[in-house]
């Protein structure tokens, strides 16, 4: 079997309302899908992390840089292909966009391998340690409104997300430490005893501000404090983890086994959040997962993007061994973005219907069972939203 074409599909639409996190506001939803065609008619799908113009630039890397390296290769040789592409791009990007681009290609190759074997991705990896997984809902995005409006909206939205059936909820912060603590207090009230809540700073704090917010989160009983400071600040992460009782999480902005080796050896994370569509695809995710478990660091995948990314992560979460195991072991969760996303809800011929499953099954979601990723994107839908 040979690879005959690698195509990027960048999809985009205007969101019904502007959304924000600690770094910026945005008003468009983007998805970057990768399609790999073979001479035997089997097609694989993958996804690259990266919004807006980053997706357009990554399309150039996928089609103009990676495609010529892999045309004619056997798609079953995905580990050989991974290392060939990585070695040829090493001088130009061991992190960032080249790795995001390679991620989508690698995921599509795993989809092909599953279709060839007639096995779902989780079976190809080694089997499902669980046949369903609990989901947490994130929302509570920043808007151009007053702190008072944020506080009231966040309290109501936390209660609404828990009311949808999600087992936990996650909020954004980023208006400044004092305002952020007020919003966290509101989310603690909105969540109540019905679930847990987590706080995502998208690396907006100095270490001292992170200590200020983190101490408040200890009192409020938050489950984790995500990306409190810049991912490059390894010393800061280690200080926060040793000085705060709340779990410190992060890692979505880290890439490949060598980047992950550094943050794990630094002992700065209670919970690791690898992003399979950015760090190097499924091949590299599995190596990073092994590294995390070798350091006894539990993993809750970072999930962002279209139904392709959600399906990929459902398989990976199913195939993740319990750490360390037991009668009632620590369990990972599926991250689910509750904000408007047609590329997650309407891309597939048979939608995953995460919201419906969560509502019906007390926050639990089933693992796809079809070959490969177990999904079929709707080509008419892709044509309708494709901008590049």
Which CB sits closer to Ca ion, 85 or 248?
248
C-beta nearest to Ca ion: residue: 200
Secondary structure of the chain as H, E, C letters:
CCEEEEEEEEEEEEEEEEEECCCCEEEEEEEEEEEEEECCCCEEEEECCCCHHHHHHHHHHHHHHHHHHHCCCCCCCHHHHHHHHHHHHHHHCCCCHHHHHHHHHHHHHHHHHHHHHCCEHHHHHCCCCCCEEEEEEECCCECCCCHHHHHHHHHHHHHHHHHCCCCEEEEECCCCHHHHHHHHHHHHHHHCCCCEEEEECCCCCCHHHHHHHHHHHHHHCCCEEECCCCCCCHHHHHHHHHHCCCEEEECCCCCHHHHHHHHHHCCCCCEECCCHHHHCHHHHHHHHHHHHHHCCCCECCCCCCCHHHHHHHHHHHHCCCCCCCCCCCCCCCEEEECCCCHHHHCCECCCCCHHHHHHHCCCEEECCCCCECCCCECHHHHHHHECC
CB of 200 to Ca ion, least distance (A): 4
* Whether residue 255 has a cis bond before it, omega within 30° of 0: no
# binding residues, Ca ion (CB under 5 A): 1
Pick out residues in 168-207 that bind Ca ion (CB under 5 A).
200
CB of 372 to Ca ion, least distance (A): 27
Q: x-or-dash pattern for Ca ion, window 295-314, by CB under 5 A?
A: --------------------
* Under rule CB under 5 A, residue 254 binds Ca ion: no
Residue of 150, 293, 302, 315 with catalytic role: 302
CB of 35 to Ca ion, least distance (A): 27
CB of 311 to Ca ion, least distance (A): 20
- Looking from the CA of 373 toward its CB, the CA atoms found within 13 Å total 30
Which CB sits closer to Ca ion, 200 or 284?
200
Which CB sits closer to Ca ion, 200 or 254?
200
Which CB sits closer to Ca ion, 111 or 226?
226
Which CB sits closer to Ca ion, 128 or 141?
141
Pick out residues in 43-82 that bind Ca ion (CB under 5 A).
none
Active site residue 92: no
Which CB sits closer to Ca ion, 86 or 224?
224
CB of 365 to Ca ion, least distance (A): 20
CB of 362 to Ca ion, least distance (A): 25
What does the binding site for Ca ion look like in residue numbers (CB under 5 A)? Answer: 200
Give the active site residues: 302
């Amino acid at each position: 079997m040979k690879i005959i074409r690698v195509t990027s599909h960048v999809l985009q639409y205007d969101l019904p309302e502007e959304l924000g996190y600690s770094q910026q506001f945005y008003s468009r939803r983007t998805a970057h899908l990768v399609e790999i065609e073979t001479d035997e008619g089997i097609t694989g799908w993958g996804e690259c992390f990266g919004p807006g113009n980053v997706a357009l630039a990554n399309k150039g890397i996928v089609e103009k840089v990676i495609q010529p390296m892999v045309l004619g290769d056997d798609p079953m040789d995905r580990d050989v292909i991974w290392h060939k592409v990585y070695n040829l791009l090493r001088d130009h990007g061991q992190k960032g966009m080249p790795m995001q681009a390679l991620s989508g290609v690698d995921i599509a190759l795993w989809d092909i391998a599953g279709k060839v074997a007639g096995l779902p991705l989780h079976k190809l990896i080694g089997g499902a340690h669980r046949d369903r997984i609990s989901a947490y809902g994130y929302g509570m995005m920043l808007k151009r409104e007053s702190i008072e409006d944020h506080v009231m909206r966040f309290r109501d939205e936390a209660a609404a997300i828990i009311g949808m059936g999600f087992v936990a909820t996650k909020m954004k912060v980023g208006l400044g430490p004092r305002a952020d603590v007020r919003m966290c207090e509101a989310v603690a009230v909105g969540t109540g005893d019905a679930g847990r809540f987590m706080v995502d700073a998208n690396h907006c704090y100095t270490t001292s501000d992170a200590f200020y917010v983190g101490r408040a989160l200890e009192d409020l009983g938050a489950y984790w404090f995500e990306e409190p400071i810049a991912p490059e600040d390894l010393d800061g992460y280690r200080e926060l983890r040793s000085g705060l009782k709340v779990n410190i999480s992060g890692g979505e902005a880290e890439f490949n086994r060598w980047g992950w080796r550094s943050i794990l050896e630094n002992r700065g994370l209670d919970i690791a959040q690898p992003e399979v569509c950015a760090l190097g695809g499924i091949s590299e995710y599995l190596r990073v997962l092994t590294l995390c478990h070798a350091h006894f660091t539990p993993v809750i995948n970072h999930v962002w993007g279209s139904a392709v990314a959600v399906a990929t992560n459902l398989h990976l979460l199913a195939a993740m061994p319990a750490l360390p195991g037991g009668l009632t072991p620590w369990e990972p969760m599926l991250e689910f973005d509750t904000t408007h996303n047609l590329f997650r809800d309407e891309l597939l011929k048979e939608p995953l219907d995460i919201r419906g499953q969560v509502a019906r099954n007390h926050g639990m979601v089933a693992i796809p069972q079809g070959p490969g990723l177990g999904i079929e994107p709707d080509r008419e839908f892709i044509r309708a939203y494709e901008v590049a």
